[in-house]
Structure 1
Amino acid sequence: MKYSEHKQRLGLLFPFKYDVCIALTFMLITAAAQLMLPKIVNYYVDGNAPPSLFDIFHILVLIAIIIFSIISAVRFYLFEKLGIKVITRLRLKLHKTLLIKTASYYDKNNIAELAGRIQSDTQTLKDVLTTSAALALRSAVVAIGCIIMMFTLSTMLSLILLFCIPIFILATKMLSKKVEALSESEQNALAKTNKIAFDNLNCHTLIKLYNWFGSSQKRYSKTNSHYALCAKKTASAIAIFQGFFNFLIFSILILMLIIGSHLIQQKNLTIGELASYVLYLGMTFTSLNMLAGFWAEWMHSLGATRYLFDLLKSESDIEPQLPLKKVAFGDIYFENISFHYPGHATQLIFDKLNLHIKHGQTTIISGPSGNGKSTLAKLLLGYYLPTEGKIRIGNLYLTSQNIKSYRNSIAYVEQDPILFSSSVLENLIPEVGLTPTKLQMEKVIAACKKANAHSFISQLPQGYNTKIGDRGGLLSGGQKQRIAIARAFLQEPELVILDEFTSALDKENQYSIEQAIKNLLIGKTVIIISHKHSQINGAENLIQL
């Protein structure tokens, strides 16, 4: 554990420093009010209170209780609101970081695990950073205030108490080291459990088809059991400390009562003062217990969120987000391209590959399965850069610095298009959501008409606002492809890449898609990855891999 880790977490509060100050002010007021309670008990026990129930003193006490209750409610709301702001901002930052990660990063990391960590790991931090931290600060203020008040009541009793505090601090320190390590293991186990659950649910049709219910449940049960074991170890460590702490509290309380009763007999302490002292003692130990609990939570959150902060710090596998610039398209050249996927250096896909794709022509890329056709498309899309050699578009060499600008002029239509689980409209122009302008809507409809998609979209229950299910599962294969083609029209591309775009369609859908594609390809550089002889025979340029 490093000091920088504490600083990182606390740094999340800095953008909301004014909210923190206001919330802390309310917290200090409630702490000060809490310290007055034992003094009031002392006042009543020693018989100093007015005899009349409706005396002004009692009315003032009642008013003070009402004000205290209101301030406590406001304090709770302010810290909860602060926690929501902090975690929302952190989640947005994490989401943005993940979106600009390279394709190779997602080859190495499971998407379900990443999504789960954004939600569960940040939630772990939310409460401990705001509400729990506020209670801990209030507990610290109350504990210090109580100790001062106890010294004013009895120096002898308070000196005995001070000997016990180092024992408490040492036990807390030992617990924190144990909990930090256990919580990191627990959170990693939870992430693996989420990963298996996502895989099983995502492949539910496959499980049904081959009757793999037993093995799928067994995989989930195994990871879930491991998580439960890790969670139990964490809980055990905290439980042991709680037991020790309760033993310490009640032992000291009995000791104080024995010594206090002796002081009363000697007329060095009144019954009211002893009652007040015991209340201060109880408040002190309750506050120290909350501090210990908070420290355990804090160390738990350090271990649980270390993965997220490492992700934010990491500068590897990130695509530069530079301003878009116009790319002057020309002929595409593959110059001595060698490529293997990251982490698979021995499995070379291309070795000194040289290609020339003419600007404004239709090029067919064909060849047996496994010869690198889809990999070639991924290189052209900029998902990966060559291991060796260069890709040139006109006079521009493709690098990580200009990939974003280059992609701005590309459209891609694949065999099974990737669609969001939102509406048709949000799949076409996601940046405007459900409130496009009249001009934007006119462009969308025009693109869908060219893609032969407007007719079927209009017949959907809510038209363009119809939700299409996970990955477009409520649409047919032909409908999904026509939406992908409409999306390509809206991109107004210079380069169109078609990857086996009609291989899984029936003749009727295939004809409709091919007519839509003809509208799209006018005046464009076109690359078609295909096995179909009809498409190969009509090619201006044929590349066999």
Structure 2
Amino acid sequence: MKDFLSIAIRYLPPYKHLLALNFMFNLLSAIFAVFSVALMIPMLEIILMQDSEVYELMPWAMEFDPLKNNLYYYITLLKDQYGPGWSLLFVGMFLITGTLLKVLNAYLASYTSVGIRNGVVRDLRHQIYNKILNLPMGFFSDERKGDIIARSTGDVQEVENSIMSSLDMFLKNPVLILVFLTTMMIFSVQLTLFVLVILPFAGLIIGRVGKSLKKRSMKGQNKMGDILGVLEETLSGLRIVKAFNAEKRMGKKFDEEIDEYRSIMNKLMRRRDLAHPMSEFLGTIVVVLVVWFGGTLILNEDSGLQPAAFLAYIGIFYQIINPAKAFSQAVFSIQKGLAAYERIDRILQADIYIKDKENAQEISHLGKNVEYKHVTFAYGDRPVLKNVSIEIPKGKTVALVGQSGSGKSTFVDLLPRFYDIKQGAITIDGIDIRDLKIHDLRNLMGNVNQEAILFNDSIYNNITFGVEHATMEQVVEAAKVANAHDFILETENGYDTVIGDRGSKLSGGQRQRLSIARAVLKNPPILILDEATSALDTESELLVQQALENLMEHRTSIVIAHRLSTIHNADKICVFHEGEIVETGTHNELIQKDGIYRKLHSLQMRE
């Protein structure tokens, strides 16, 4: 219950007005429910021909005795003048009116709770997505993509189905129970105290069973994350699965996961389904005990409890059983939802350790240089860069070469602060990048990666991604600079053509030229090119290389190069080896040094 209340405190404040309306409608519904049941007493007394005639009116007041007295007065008049039948009809009309007002207010209460429930779920989804966007890249290195998707979709759905569906019960049931208990106390204090003694025992039994649901539900949600992880890996690597005839292996792995999930969910659902029969059985025991104790009070003439009043009391007690049973079912449901929310909360509570400093500086252009000063970085305990220092003057092109895993990609990932360095400093115009606003820092840079990251959207929207208020003329000009305009016009709808998931409807060279056009439109002073031509055929490479040369003109460029033939004209080439820069110079200077660069160059020439 404590965890449920903490969620309510976190998400319900924006809906205070709906909560107030919900409380009011539930209170009115409970009052009219009591009114409807209370009207059964005069009807029963008329049928049972009890001596309940009243011949004197009392002054009207909002109190129980005057209202009861005056109602009986008018019933007595009708009975004396028209007979018991018309008296029954008169009371029945009040009963119909009371029931109408009860169900109307119950509907209005549900109407407001729907707005609260869907609003909270929307806020939760919004919060998760924004947190994912703002989390540092290091968070996703430690998490499986499938598990993050499971938390953002399946777990949110579970929270909606369990916790939010139970929200209505928690908004309504306390009001109903309070009003019904108060009415029962008015009828008979002794009988109500007896009820209050035996009801907690039933609640305790149900609560003990419900606690075990949370643990099993957590296992189920974790296993669903594993299932989605396997599914995501299969879809991403389907070409390799088929190429290596590994369908049987992947199918076996998936079957093992879903069989384990089935086993967990079987145990969970069987225990959850125990809630209704258990609460019904315990409720029957309680009713039998109440009827037994009430019967003894009726037989005891000193108790003052009349048979008609006792029957009405039982009617109100049955009204309180439904909210109490709903509470027990809600406890089971909420335990399952809390397990899902705990997994969501791991994302929501994850530390955003890469963020703006207080009073961070603004920056809008590159004035002089970019400089790495004795930079050291490690992923966990594994060192990747060791005491790296280099200056990149404005307008110059610096190429990074070396074997895979030597630290080149990490070197460029540190500049936009995808990760933060462990030691040393990276400066732009002498200012440590950690003292700059992250948005301004990244706004200085344009990226073209080895794998062109495109979205399932139109060509126009992919080129203008991250650039607001771009005109069509600017987009076309950027496409021309990137050698992309001609092939775009040949597509079905030109710039409005939707390119499929990750640009699957385009060739590798076409995707890369679109990513270059996106960088051209952004017009950044600093370019980061991460092996932008390494995955292309010769013809595509020539087109892309020409587009890159157009893009790099008059800009500060950091180029990670696999094919050394593409960086002969770089102003400086840095050779990485095991996280260190071991050689620097121009192409000709490094050839003359007869070091690692010359060895790499010779190997490529031989190929």
TM-score when normalising by structure 2? 0.79
Which residue is equivalent to 1:12?
11
Shift of 1:173: 4.2
Query: The residue matched to 1:51 in structure 2 has which SS?
Result: helix
Structure number with higher relative contact order (C-alpha < 8 Å, ≥ 6 residues apart) = 1
Check the 8 A contact 2:452/2:511 in 1, yes or no. yes
Which residue is equivalent to 1:229?
263
Q: Distance in 1 between matches of 2:318 and 2:89?
A: 30
Matched, 1:184 2:257: no
Output aligned runs, 1:399-418, within 5 Å.
399=434, 401-418=436-453
- Output the amino acid matched with 2:326: M
Check the 8 A contact 1:157/1:259 in 2, yes or no. yes
Which residue is equivalent to 1:251?
285
Q: Distance in 2 between matches of 1:467 and 1:366?
A: 36
Check the 8 A contact 1:366/1:542 in 2, yes or no. yes
Q: 1:164 to 1:52 in 2, by over 3 A?
A: same
Pick from 429, 439, 461: which aligns with 1:426?
461
Output aligned runs, 1:17-416, within 5 Å.
17-47=16-46, 51=85, 58-59=92-93, 61-126=95-160, 130-240=164-274, 242-258=276-292, 272-320=308-356, 324-341=362-379, 343=380, 345=381, 347-399=382-434, 401-416=436-451
Query: The residue matched to 2:541 in structure 1 has which SS?
Result: helix
Query: The residue matched to 2:454 in structure 1 has which SS?
Result: coil
Check the 8 A contact 2:363/2:436 in 1, yes or no. no
Check the 8 A contact 2:206/2:278 in 1, yes or no. no
Q: Distance in 1 between matches of 2:165 and 2:343?
A: 23
Which residue is equivalent to 2:596?
none
Which residue is equivalent to 2:504?
473
Q: 1:522 to 1:24 in 2, by over 3 A?
A: same
Unmatched tracts of structure 1, length 5 or more: none
Shift of 1:414: 1.5
- Output the amino acid matched with 1:7: S
Check the 8 A contact 2:43/2:91 in 1, yes or no. no
Q: Distance in 1 between matches of 2:168 and 2:473?
A: 53
Query: The residue matched to 2:85 in structure 1 has which SS?
Result: coil
Q: 1:331 to 1:158 in 2, by over 3 A?
A: closer
Moved more, 403-412 or 249-258: 249-258
- Output the amino acid matched with 2:430: N
Shift of 1:254: 2.8
Matched, 1:509 2:540: yes
Shift of 1:197: 2.4
Check the 8 A contact 1:35/1:142 in 2, yes or no. no
Check the 8 A contact 1:499/1:528 in 2, yes or no. yes
Check the 8 A contact 1:338/1:388 in 2, yes or no. yes
Check the 8 A contact 1:101/1:319 in 2, yes or no. no
Shift of 1:58: 4.6
- Output the amino acid matched with 2:422: T
Q: Which has the larger radius of gyration?
A: 2
Query: The residue matched to 1:332 in structure 2 has which SS?
Result: strand
Q: Distance in 2 between matches of 1:56 and 1:445?
A: 81
Moved more, 254-263 or 356-365: 254-263
After superposition, the C-alpha distances for 1:459-479 in whole angstroms (9 at most, x for unaligned) are 433433332222121221122
- Output the amino acid matched with 1:297: S
Q: 1:123 to 1:477 in 2, by over 3 A?
A: same
Unmatched tracts of structure 2, length 5 or more: 48-74, 76-83, 577-607
Shift of 1:188: 2.5
Q: 1:181 to 1:55 in 2, by over 3 A?
A: same
Shift of 1:277: 2.8
Check the 8 A contact 2:162/2:336 in 1, yes or no. no
Which residue is equivalent to 1:539?
570
- Output the amino acid matched with 1:200: T
- Output the amino acid matched with 1:254: V
Shift of 1:288: 1.2
Moved more, 88-97 or 325-334: 325-334
Moved more, 263-272 or 190-199: 263-272
Moved more, 198-207 or 100-109: 198-207
Q: 1:40 to 1:234 in 2, by over 3 A?
A: farther
After superposition, the C-alpha distances for 1:199-254 in whole angstroms (9 at most, x for unaligned) are 22333333233232232233233333333333344434444554443332112323
After superposition, the C-alpha distances for 1:112-147 in whole angstroms (9 at most, x for unaligned) are 322321233333333555552232342222223333
After superposition, the C-alpha distances for 1:91-110 in whole angstroms (9 at most, x for unaligned) are 22222222111111111112
Which residue is equivalent to 2:482?
451
Check the 8 A contact 1:105/1:317 in 2, yes or no. no
TM-score when normalising by structure 1? 0.87
Q: 1:130 to 1:374 in 2, by over 3 A?
A: closer
Moved more, 111-120 or 472-481: 111-120
- Output the amino acid matched with 1:286: N
- Output the amino acid matched with 1:448: A
Matched, 1:521 2:552: yes
Shift of 1:59: 5.0
Q: Percent identity of the aligned residues?
A: 24
Shift of 1:291: 1.5
